[in-house]
Amino acid sequence: MGKAINPLQVRGQDEGAAIQGLGHTLMEHYIFDESGRIKNLGAIDYRIPTSMDLPLDLQSDVIENADGPGPYGAKGMSEGALLCVAAAVA
């Protein structure tokens, strides 16, 4: 990942991605009617995780390697934790 300039922000990004992955894996799906139209397009019908659906304790560790192309070895990071959630749940 490079050097974490703000480790708390990196953890928050990882935890948010993990929560988004839980939503993709366990809750979010389209429901189609007989003509192929999506029935659950609204915020009321399309389920996403809320605070009541989340684990009480979520652990995220930051492992740095200072190998990034940016200043001080920094490197941009985003939703890396999103990719492994479906496999972990399966």
Q: Report the catalytic residues.
A: 79
Handedness of CA 79, 61, 75, 65 (dihedral sign): negative
Helix, strand or coil for residue 89? helix
Alpha helices per DSSP H over the chain: 7-22, 85-89
